Amino acid sequence: MDGNGRWAKAKGLQRKEGHREGSNAIDRLLDIALTLGLKNISLYAFSTENWKRPPSEITSIFSLLDEFIDNKLGRLQEKNVRVWHSGSTKRVPRSSVRKIDKAVQETKGNSALNLNFCLNYGSMDEITHAVNKILSSRKEKGKALDKAIKPSDIEKNLYTYPLPPVDLLIRTAGEQRLSNFLLWQSAYAEIYFTDVLWPDFDKQCLFSSLEWYAKRVRKFGGLASS
Ligand code: FPP
């Protein structure tokens, strides 16, 4: 959700106001996503590298997340949205961990849309964590530690499991890199780059990205079907 800071700066506002408008953009897009019947959305809300930001900005991002859950959980329930969290809980403020856990638990039975908050998330951390989990589980069960690890073993231990791989990855604000986001899951994702700043990413922008996606020929390493 890039461009919150630039959006604020362009308006002479503080960066936290940009994040607030970014959070409003999520809210607006959720309704559209539900109407369109999208099944899975992952939001890169806070990366493992975002800890490098000033403490006041970090605090404002977690406060916005807390506020979002406090204000929207009821509506997410009504709309049959299931909340997920991907990422490590280490260093995340306890209040935010409690709130996201509550949202995850309370929406477990919902099935219209999976809304995955990638929070304190980074793919390098995720894959390392997955490998370490496999090794500790083998150790616990007295199994051989030197048996080869298979891609499916890693997949089952990713933070995002059992959510499906990414079809369309949208990167806003003119950035053209993946920034440690869902690297494993995006192995065959179509990547849509737009100059639009995240707070300005509206219904029309979502439609444009989906229209672009619909024209992509997906081969997954095979040949295009005729
Ligand atoms: C990237 O833009 C954005 C973030 C690191 C934070 C995104 C967080 C929110 C939208 C609020 C969290 C709330 C919920 C509900 C998940 P940037 O700050 O890097 O912008 P810039 O590149 O213009 O400086």
User: HEC string of the chain?
Assistant: CCCHHHHHHHCCCCHHHHHHHHHHHHHHHHHHHHHHCCCEEEEEEEECCHHHCCHHHHHHHHHHHHHHHHHHHHHHHHCCEEEEEECCCCCCCHHHHHHHHHHHHHCCCCCCEEEEEEEEECHHHHHHHHHHHHHHHHHHCCCCCCCCCCHHHHHHCCCCCCCCCCCEEEECCCCCCCCCCCCCCCCCCEEEECCCCHHHCCHHHHHHHHHHHHCCCCCCCCCCCC
Residues involved in catalysis: 2, 50
Structure tokens at 98: 């409690």
**Can you give the pLDDT at residue 225?**
79
Residue nearest to atom 22 of ligand 1 (CA): 3
Can you give the pTM of this predicted structure? 0.96
Separation of CA 111 and ligand 1 centre (Å): 27
3-state helix, strand, coil in the chain (%, to 5): 50, 15, 40
Residue nearest to atom 8 of ligand 1 (CA): 45
Over residues 28-35, mean pLDDT: 96
Binned at pLDDT 50, 70 and 90, residue 224 comes out as: confident
Atom from ligand 1 closest to the CA of residue 26 = 15
Residue whose structure tokens are 């737009």:
194
Ligand 1: residues with CB < 6 A are: 1-6, 19, 22-23, 26, 43, 45, 50, 61, 64-65, 68, 117, 173
Structure tokens at 101: 């856990």
* pLDDT per residue as tens digits for the range 145-184: 999 999 999 999 999 999 999 999 999 999 999 999 999 9
Atom from ligand 1 closest to the CA of residue 20 = 11
Over residues 99-105, mean pLDDT: 98
DSSP 38: -
What proportion of the chain, given as a percentage, has pLDDT over 70?
Answer: 100
Separation of CA 193 and ligand 1 centre (Å): 17
